[in-house]
Structure 1
Amino acid sequence: MRLQDKVIIITGSCTGIGKAIAERCVAEGARVVIHGLEPDLGETLVVKLGPENARLHIQDLADADAPQQLVTLALEAFGKLDAIVNNAAMVVSSNINTTDADFLRQVLEVNTVAPFRLIKEALPHLSRTRGCVLNIGSVNAWSGEPNLLAYSISKGALQTLTRNLGDTLHRENRVRVNQINPGWVLTEKEAQRKQEQGLAENWYEAVPPVFAPAGRILWPAEIAAAAVYWLADESGPISGQVVDLEQYPLQGRNPPKDTSTLATTTKPGFDTAVSKL
């Protein structure tokens, strides 16, 4: 039990990567606060994990009192706080032509400002337990896809937040801050997005090798397995680190020399992934 008796807040955990992290944390002995915007899915997850192991909070993270509500729930339900996982994010398509200042601010509020606010609210309690923060970023933090401009900006900012606080909070508060950057993950929402872009229901069974050398993209459970290391005491004093979780190197990777092969294998909806190369 690598997380025995730890209490962890996981934002955006009614579905996808957050849900997988919550399930794995409980399996490793932790108790969790589930958060999201889908009451039915959240309630189903709490029943699965057991009310003794999980509590649910439904609220938009952009709300001014959301961080306080989450921390208070953790303390009232379980008596302490050992870690927070900033996973919730707006994953929305936009480019320079479709992104205005108000839209960019909205994305930044959820994807970057909300994690900052939750860290600040939780800090006194994490200091008492010598706890940790795990931010869930994205490989798009490095540059991003053409149609994920606002999202990519927000994840780049989150990455800098992790590097900065990972140093300062570790020195001053004994709280570690690290980040994992998932690549392309087969979540429920990603499956739906690709269908909306014109792909077949089983599109993930035929992802071109240039995007998935392994023959498939990542699963949420694989991200959750990596998250446990950073939440557990076994990661020791490591802080301020950002780790990419993708099946090929993002920086320095070249597209295939035979672009005609790529053209014949690419399907509608896969085009935005090309810029990951």
Structure 2
Amino acid sequence: MRLKDKVILITGSYTGIGKAIAKSCVREGAKVILNGLDDQAGEQLYAELGPENSAMLTIDITEEDAAEKLVDLAVERFSKLDALVNNAATIVSSNIRTTSSDFLRKVLDINLVSGLALIEKSLDQLIENKGNVLNIGSINAWGGEPDLLAYSISKGGLMTMTRNLGDSLFREYGVRVNQINPGWVLTDNEMQIKAAQGMKSDWYRDLPDIFAPAKRLFAPEEIAAGAVFLLSDECGPVSAQVMDLEQFPMIGRNLPKSWEGSHK
């Protein structure tokens, strides 16, 4: 098992990608600290994984003492902390006309600032255990969609933080920091968003090639597979790296023939 006896804190792990990462980590022998906002969803996952493999704390990561409480829980329950997965995030639509300063600050606080606070509070444990950090970003970090302005800014900042700390912390302490930028993932939350937008229930079965050459979206478990590799010792000395898990190139993408001539 690739994560045997590792203790891993995963924020936003009651649902979606975070939940898939938590389940994959336990299958690989890890103990996990679960976190989220929906206490019922957390209790269900905690019951599934079992108290011998998990602990949970329902708390908003932007609360002043949230980072300290989560790290303390890991140490109290399992005596150490080997890895941190900064997965919790808010995905909200906004553009240049709707992104106020207060709105942007709120998004940055959740998607970026809280992650930095968790790294800082985890650092002593990570140094002691030669641990690592995995940040979950988004391909929107590379520029993003017009109506995902604040979200894209936050994920771009997260990517810069990953590269900065991945170099400095590894050189000084041996603590690796990496990031996964997922593409479009079919999570329960994505299904709820599309339902609220009035889309049909099986919208994901009929996607344009421009968005999904594979004719489907990623499953959360596929993102989790990449996470397990980066969290494990088999990753070796890889640090300050960003893994784009997408089904088309972000740069130099080949447009479908139907687009030829229409955007010249």
In the superposition, the TM-score normalised over structure 2's length comes to 0.97
**2:209 touches 2:256 (CA, 8 Å); kept in 1?**
no
Instruction: Point out where structure 2 has 5 or more consecutive residues left out of the alignment.
Output: none
Matches for 1:99-118 after TM superposition, within 5 Å: 99-118=99-118
- State the 1:172 CA deviation: 0.9
* Aligned residue identity for 1:177: V
Does residue 159 of the first structure (1) align with residue 143 of the second (2)?
A: no
Matches for 1:247-262 after TM superposition, within 5 Å: 247-259=247-259
Matches for 1:1-80 after TM superposition, within 5 Å: 1-80=1-80
Q: For residues 61-107 of structure 1, what are the alpha-carbon distances to aligned partners after superposition, in whole Å with 9 as ceiling and x for unaligned?
A: 11010100000000000000000000000100010111100000000
Matches for 1:231-270 after TM superposition, within 5 Å: 231-259=231-259
- State the 1:256 CA deviation: 2.8
- State the 1:180 CA deviation: 0.6
* Aligned residue identity for 2:105: R
Does residue 128 of the first structure (1) align with residue 123 of the second (2)?
A: no
Instruction: Point out where structure 1 has 5 or more consecutive residues left out of the alignment.
Output: 263-277
- State the 1:205 CA deviation: 1.1
Does residue 198 of the first structure (1) align with residue 198 of the second (2)?
A: yes
- State the 1:257 CA deviation: 4.1
Give the Cα–Cα distance (whole angstroms) in 2 for the partners of residues 208 and 66 of structure 1.
41
* Aligned residue identity for 1:181: N
Give secondary structure in 2 for the equivalent of 1:113.
helix
- State the 1:15 CA deviation: 0.2
- State the 1:199 CA deviation: 1.1
Give the Cα–Cα distance (whole angstroms) in 2 for the partners of residues 89 and 251 of structure 1.
25
Percent of pairs with identical residues = 60
CA RMSD of aligned residues (A): 1.1
Give the Cα–Cα distance (whole angstroms) in 2 for the partners of residues 134 and 103 of structure 1.
26
- State the 1:166 CA deviation: 0.3
Give the Cα–Cα distance (whole angstroms) in 2 for the partners of residues 225 and 254 of structure 1.
27
Q: For residues 141-178 of structure 1, what are the alpha-carbon distances to aligned partners after superposition, in whole Å with 9 as ceiling and x for unaligned?
A: 00001110000000000000000000000011110000
Give secondary structure in 2 for the equivalent of 1:258.
helix
- State the 1:202 CA deviation: 1.1
* Aligned residue identity for 1:124: D
* Aligned residue identity for 1:226: G
Give the Cα–Cα distance (whole angstroms) in 2 for the partners of residues 21 and 194 of structure 1.
23
Q: For residues 164-212 of structure 1, what are the alpha-carbon distances to aligned partners after superposition, in whole Å with 9 as ceiling and x for unaligned?
A: 0000000111100000100000010011111222210111111112211
Give the Cα–Cα distance (whole angstroms) in 2 for the partners of residues 28 and 11 of structure 1.
18
* Aligned residue identity for 1:79: S
Give the Cα–Cα distance (whole angstroms) in 2 for the partners of residues 254 and 105 of structure 1.
36
* Aligned residue identity for 1:131: G
Give the Cα–Cα distance (whole angstroms) in 1 for the partners of residues 97 and 23 of structure 2.
39
Give secondary structure in 1 for the equivalent of 2:135.
strand
Give secondary structure in 1 for the equivalent of 2:76.
helix
Aligned residues: 261
**2:176 touches 2:240 (CA, 8 Å); kept in 1?**
yes
Q: In the alignment, which residue of structure 1 is the partner of 2:145?
A: 145
Runs of 4+ in 1 over 6 A off after TM superposition: none
